[in-house]
Structure 1
């Protein structure tokens, strides 16, 4: 994402409109020019790269766009490293301690560097040159870090990242977000809900898989002030949302008036037709090796029960539960299967609370025998589900024994 000083938004009434770059020949040429500058800077210092970028900016009026694109390249595609024969702070101590024993002069400086280099050569078992000692003295300063690796994106990819970052920047000042995730593939919902949890967003979820979900992201008033970081977490959710097929959202923002310096309310809307492109990876086929192994064994099984992945969602007040599998018989019978092999106490308490609230009459819980449920206060006598225990691997025959 971009820092606030590189965001480019304008306002039409209460509506906030972020700047977007067209994928035309002019902007693609600009992106290529910046990418080439980074490729040429590999092996050089960050300071050298910064000077090259400053020359590229020149005195043009689009300097903010160039800085934004360069920032995304530095933060997302570059590796900068501290290159020094010894930790720079330790190296400085040794050099200064030795230099303090003689009167400063250019000749004695060379002697000091050579002596340190010779000592380090013996200590490290590899040749260290005086120039390496000189370069390593302040290698920990940002301008002296070395660009050791650059993975050049395609120019279109860079422009997409810029446009997405500008939109994300709108949410830095978000105080509330209402998201309507319309009817989609259940796996897309699950990925979205995972990111909600990952970014520690407080969300109230209503709806069901047949009609879609309304997700309200909100929190205590004390969280929402002009300097809050909560908006950053909301901004991080947007690339995940782009994996969902059909959705729309509206956000309430806290915006500073350019003339009066006072805070006022702004609005922003977005939907699945926005044309933004995500850089977040798609969801994994399976959450764990246990699930993957179970699916492989079931597929090799000669059974009339079909195994389907993440196709049902169980709505519960304020949240949603997405079982791992659904088992379907040709005669119409079906069961939902949730595999519980994760050990964290908070997870177990939340999972079994969800099961109790769901009151689902066709749910099967496959629980690892390694879990100490008593220790975390989980009692199974009031859990409305069929229980199957497993050790290291969940075998299809133990599930078939329950459903048949």
Structure 2
């Protein structure tokens, strides 16, 4: 993520185009130099690092690029108060003892020595060490204690993505069209939507894709960018979806002299073909051993049915269901939900959403190990579409119900 003053972009006919760095030798060398500067400053205080960075940017016309890259690298480092004494305690003790003392160099040294003795029992704290601790928690006095260096190309990818993320700070609406995707991608989208506190309206179907509409911060909270930051942090998760388009409506930046004062809104467009790279870990193919075991056993069957992993988003009032599997045979399909997780609140929410969906093409598979009665869940209204299993789920049992409850996909 980059602060607003380091976002570089242009606007052509109302369309925002973020600055991107080409992986040229010049840019890769700059990235490598900055990474090396941070590595050389491990164990030093932030003001020393800042001095080295100012030396690097001196005379450069692209100093904002350098600052942007350095900002991202700072987030990859760990800065701590490099002192053996808590700075808050040190200030409290020194300022208390200094009350009524006539200012002077000799008097100040005496106060420091007195405070140091009061803070140590065996003389391990000196006056000089205490003086160094007084403001060690201030940002420029903190020490870079650890740094995980990225590869130069990785840093450039992070920079490009951060420039794109920054455009979403002022979004009034965000529409994502997610087409047929690889397994587990939709589930990750929903997980990150929830994690970042984003609200989405979902429409569409598994055959043609889904449209997710998110209201932005400018339409909900006029005085805060918190929701916009959530949208920006969500973007790297979207990159793991294999086929998608993003369209955002932005509130124009009026603080920039070159912006047309007559602009009422800007548009920002991205697709899965734009070449941005996510730094979020890709999702695992299966969420549990139950699901992976079921998929493995199904693969051994000789059947005209095809098992698809998490390809269907089912909108329901108050949420979205993402069934674990979809079984497809020609133009007929049925959804499969495996319930093996035991937490009562999870079970209540799961069955409540399944009930609200009102879908008759969902087969619900429930482990006998679950105490649904204790969780306050009554699954009887799913009738014959309910499968109880002990230990492992037999794909043949699911296929038997699939023949009975599958519906035409067209």
Both proteins in one fold, TM over 0.5: yes
Equivalent residues, number: 390
Deviation of residue 105 (structure 1)?
A: 3.7
Q: Please state whether the residue corresponding to 2:366 is helix, strand or coil.
A: strand
- CA–CA distance in structure 2, aligned partners of residues 328 and 129 of structure 1: 75
Alignment correspondent of 1:140? 137
Counterpart in the other structure of 1:229: 226
The answer for the alignment partner of 1:395 in structure 2 is 391
Match of 2:85 in 1: 86
Contact 2:206 2:311 in 1 (8 A): yes
- In structure 2, the partner of 1:202 is 199
- Residue 321 (structure 1) shift: 2.6
1:150 aligns with 2:147: yes
CA 1:14–1:347 in 2, change beyond 3 Å: closer, same or farther?
farther
Gaps of 5+ in 2: 401-410
Please give the residue correspondences for 1:208-219 in structure 2 after superposition, counting only pairs within 5 Å.
208-218=205-215
In the alignment, what sits opposite 1:283? 283
Q: 1:383 & 1:356 partners in 2: Cα distance?
A: 12
**C-alpha separation between the residues in 2 aligned to 1:154 and 1:25?**
14
Q: Deviations over 1:125-167 (max 9, x none)?
A: x933333211111111111111100111111111111111111
Corresponding residue of 1:56: 56
Q: Which residue of 2 aligns with 1:74?
A: 74
Q: What TM-score comes out, normalization by structure 2 length?
A: 0.82
Q: Secondary structure in 2 aligned to 1:383?
A: helix
CA distance in 1, matches of 2:120, 2:225: 51
SS at match of 2:21: coil
- The answer to whether the 8 Å contact 1:175/1:224 transfers is no
Partner Cα separation in structure 2 for residue 327 and residue 181 of structure 1: 20
1:175 lines up with 2:176 in the alignment = no
Q: Classify the secondary structure of the residue corresponding to 2:251.
A: strand
The CA RMSD measured in Å over matched residues stands at: 3.6
C-alpha separation between the residues in 2 aligned to 1:305 and 1:316?
Answer: 33
Alignment of 1:1-400 (within 5 A): 1-75=1-75, 77-100=76-99, 103-122=102-121, 127-218=124-215, 222-223=219-220, 225=222, 227-257=224-254, 258=256, 264-287=264-287, 291-292=288-289, 295=292, 304=301, 310-313=309-312, 315-316=314-315, 320-324=320-324, 336-341=336-341, 343=343, 345=345, 348-349=348-349, 351-361=351-361, 363-366=363-366, 369-370=370-371, 378-383=377-382, 385-386=385-386, 388=388, 395-396=391-392
Q: Deviations over 1:312-367 (max 9, x none)?
A: 525345765323356899xx998724225253647733652234415244512326
Give the distance between the partners of 1:209 and 1:72, measured in 2 at CA.
Answer: 38
Supply the distance in 2 between the matched residues of 1:112 and 1:186 (Cα, whole angstroms): 66
Q: TM-score, normalised by structure 1?
A: 0.83
Is the 1:173–1:254 Cα contact (8 Å) retained in structure 2?
yes
Q: Which moved more, 1:150-159 or 1:278-287?
A: 278-287
User: 1:149-199 CA distances to partner (integer Å, 9 max, x unpaired)?
Assistant: 011111111111111111111111111122111111232122122222222
